[in-house]
Each structure stands twice: as C-alpha cells, then as structure tokens.
Amino acid sequence: MLTYEPGESLAHRLDPRSKLAVQMGFAATALAHPTPRALLALSGLAVVAMAVARVSFRRTLVAYRVALFVLAIAPLLAGITLGAPWFDRSAAVASGLASYRVLLILLVSAAYVRSTPVRDSRAAIQRTIPGKPGQLLGVGVGLVFRFLPVLRGDLRTIRDAMAARLGTERGAVDRASTIGILGITRTFDRADRLSLALQARCFAWNPTLPSLSFSRIDYPVLALAVALALSAFY
C-alpha cells in the first residue's frame, strides 16, 4: 500500500500546495487531451515526477495491481460487440487511451503520496479552501490516508487466516462472500473505535497544523502547474 515515506528528495522539500497544484493540472491536461502525442509527453512528465519523489516504479505497479487489472480489461470489453464485426477496434483504442491516462494520473498521485505527510496534506487543503468546507475536506483526506491502509491490512489478515485453514479449497463465490462479510464487519468495528477515540481525544475541527511556506524551488513547480492547467484549454 502506498503511504508516506520520509526522505530528502526534491519532492519531499516542496510545499504540498505546489504538489497538489501540479497533480490537479496534470489530471486536467490528461483528461482534456487523450491523443497519443499528448499522452507521450505526459508519460515523460509522470516519469520525472516519480524520479523526483524517488518512487519505485515496480512497487507502485504492485500497489495498483487491482486498478491495473481493471484498466487492462477495459479496452477488451469496450471493443466487444454483439454482432459483426464482433470486435470494434476503434472503441478498443479509445478505451485503451482513456485507461492509459488514468494510469498516468495514478503514477503522479503515487509520487505525491510518497513524499507528503498526511498532516501537510490536511494543512494545504484547509489553508487553500477557507471555512468549514476546507476543514471538512482536510479531515476527510486525513482519515482516508490513515484509515484505508488499516482496512487493507484487515482484509489481508482475513485472507491469510482463511488460507491457513484450507479456505483456498472452497469455491470462489464462498471465499469472496466470507471475506466481504468479515471485511465489512471489521470496517464498522474500526469505525466505531475511531469515533470513540476521536471523542476521547477531544477531536478539533481546526487543530494546530504545521506551518507551510513556499520556497524558491516551489515557484517553478507552480509555473508548471499553471501551464498544465492552461494547456487543458488548447
């Protein structure tokens, strides 16, 4: 699972607001320009982002393996037709380009997650979006980044426990339903414990967040974010 890792890379030294701006500009450009030439240029930019954050390409693909499977089969399903010619190549190509741009967005987001602490992400959101909406989004982002890895660990524990008890010899539907029911039960239990823990710690909507400030290396990154955002209109 992709989580924050401390480091001394260039991406770690950037302000989270500049990194968020680049990520949003990249996503807007990728969605606006699904052509092969544009995707080729964005591929180079995604590789640079991962290199700057020192993110392992192999580990990222392993972490996104479920999403990659869905993106891989989407062009095949899009190309299948119920009559002659039975497979529409143009629809498959269009779906393949769409899947590829989603993959690029995931790679850039991996670079952000690896190089940005959760508290910094929350601070960036709350100081960019004023009032209760920013506080609500900041809390939501913080909870997702902290809660999702725990839920994935619970599912992994359930799956390993089933395998240790010869659960792999059961049918696929039976295994899936068992993991799903136990996973949902564990999720609600975790949510109840989280709610109790927040109340016990006097959860605050506006806590003392880390201070943020732009440095000299942030301004070229912000210029890149603006250029990406503007390129979505051309």
Q: State pLDDT tens for residues 19-66.
A: 989 999 999 998 888 888 888 999 999 999 999 999 888 888 888 888
pLDDT digits (tens, 9 = 90+) for 209-231: 778 888 899 899 999 999 988 88
Instruction: Provide the pLDDT for residue 192.
Output: 79
Cβ 115 vs Cβ 12: under 8 Å: yes
* Strand partners of residue 87: 80
Q: How many CB atoms lie within 10 A of CB 161?
A: 11
CB within 8 Å of 208: residues ≥ 6 apart: none
- The dihedral region occupied by 125, where left means phi > 0, alpha psi between -120 and 50, and beta the remainder, is alpha
Q: How many Å apart are CA 208 and CA 188, to the nearest integer?
A: 29
CB within 8 Å of 96: residues ≥ 6 apart: 74, 75
Cβ 225 vs Cβ 25: under 8 Å: yes
Q: Tokens for 111?
A: 């670079």
What Cα–Cα distance (Å) separates residue 184 from each residue in 99, 149, 157, 198?
Answer: 29, 15, 14, 21
State the number of CA atoms in the 13 A half-sphere of 77 facing the CB.
Answer: 7
Q: How many Å apart are CA 164 and CA 183, to the nearest integer?
A: 17
Least confident of 70-74, 105-109, 139-143, 180-184: 139-143
DSSP string, 197-230: HHHHTT--SS--PPP----TTHHHHHHHHHHHHH
Cβ 92 vs Cβ 78: under 8 Å: yes
Chain-centre distance for alpha carbon 139: 17
Q: Given a cut of 60, is residue 1 above it in pLDDT?
A: no
What burial letters (b/e) apply to 72-84, b meaning 16+ CB within 10 Å?
eebbeebbeeeee
pLDDT digits (tens, 9 = 90+) for 160-206: 888 888 777 777 787 888 888 888 888 888 777 777 776 666 666 56
CB within 8 Å of 202: residues ≥ 6 apart: none
> Of 26, 148, 130, whose CA–CA distance to 138 is shortest?
130
Task: Report the amino acid identity of residue 51.
Answer: A
